């Protein structure tokens, strides 16, 4: 399987760096190849085309978030703690990989409609897990029984996303992780039972 070969990950990581440093539209395949230390043509042994690189970047990195969320779902804790862990995890991963934060919050959004759709498919998995937390929270009576799950999900994701984007746009000047408790409080206020 190509995805397990070392060069696959090498190119993915090179793409994140190249995009973060040069911007989406200036991250030419040749720059990614150079950053990865391989020839231009080698890229095409591992990826179908440039779009495939970008979707793969998103898929591979999103897998970290999704995996962590699954672990949180398996823990025997209440919904409030779960959401705190989710927010904190989200902030923490991006706080520790500044390049990735720039890429997911700013650069990858410049992609065309076609690529956006493919990225959204990947994102859906994460949002579906969030829905599971919310549904379960209502069943357990941790959350407001009248909660509109879609709206709640949009509020939670919208808040997290906007918070991170603002942080990235402010050149990551302040500590993102410190915001977790307050963001969590705001969100819980909105949806708790």
Q: Which residues bind DNA (CB under 7 A)?
A: 2, 5, 7, 25-26, 28-30, 38-45, 49-51
Q: How far apart are CA 27 and CA 54, in angstroms?
A: 11
With CB under 5 to 8 Å by kind, the binding choice for 72 among its own copies, DNA, none is none
Q: Which of 96-135 are b and which e, b meaning 16 or more Cβ less than 10 Å from the residue's Cβ?
A: ebebbbbbbbbbbeebeeebeebbeebbeebeebbeebbe
Query: Per CB under 8 A, does 150 bind its own copies?
Result: yes
Query: Closest Cα partner for 56 from 132, 115, 129, 139?
Result: 115
With CB under 5 to 8 Å by kind, the binding choice for 149 among DNA, its own copies, none is none
CB of 64 to DNA, least distance (A): 25
CB of 86 to its own copies, least distance (A): 15
DSSP class of 4: G
- Do 107 and 99 touch, CB atoms closer than 8 A? no
Helix, coil or strand: residue 143:
strand
Of residues 112 and 189, the one with the C-beta less far from DNA: 112
Query: Per CB under 8 A, does 162 bind its own copies?
Result: yes
CB of 24 to DNA, least distance (A): 10
Q: How far apart are CA 163 and CA 17, in angstroms?
A: 22
Query: Per CB under 8 A, does 111 bind its own copies?
Result: yes
Residues 18-37: x where in contact with its own copies by CB under 8 A, - otherwise, as a string: -----xxx------------
Of residues 59 and 95, the one with the C-beta less far from DNA: 59
CB of 121 to DNA, least distance (A): 19
Query: Per CB under 8 A, does 169 bind its own copies?
Result: yes
Compute, in degrees rounded to 10, the torsion defined by CA atoms 182, 83, 153, 192.
-80
With CB under 5 to 8 Å by kind, the binding choice for 183 among DNA, its own copies, none is its own copies
């Amino acid at each position: 399987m190509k995805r397990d070969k070392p060069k696959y990950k090498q190119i993915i990581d090179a793409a994140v760096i190249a995009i973060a440093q040069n911007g989406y539209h200036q991250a030419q395949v040749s720059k990614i190849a150079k950053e990865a230390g391989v020839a231009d043509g080698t890229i095409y042994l591992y990826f179908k085309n440039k779009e495939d690189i970008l979707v793969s970047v998103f898929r591979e990195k999103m897998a970290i978030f999704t995996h962590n969320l699954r672990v949180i779902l398996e823990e025997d804790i209440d919904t409030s703690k779960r959401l705190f862990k989710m927010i904190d995890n989200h902030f923490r991963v991006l706080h520790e990989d500044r390049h990735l934060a720039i890429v997911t919050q700013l650069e990858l959004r410049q992609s065309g409609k076609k690529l956006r759709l493919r990225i959204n498919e990947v994102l859906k998995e994460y949002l579906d897990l969030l829905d599971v937390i919310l549904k379960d929270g209502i069943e357990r009576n941790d959350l407001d029984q009248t909660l509109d799950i879609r709206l709640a999900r949009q509020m939670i994701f919208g808040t997290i996303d906007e918070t991170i984007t603002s942080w990235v746009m402010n050149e990551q000047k302040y500590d993102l992780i410190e915001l977790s408790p307050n963001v969590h409080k705001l969100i819980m206020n909105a949806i708790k039972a």
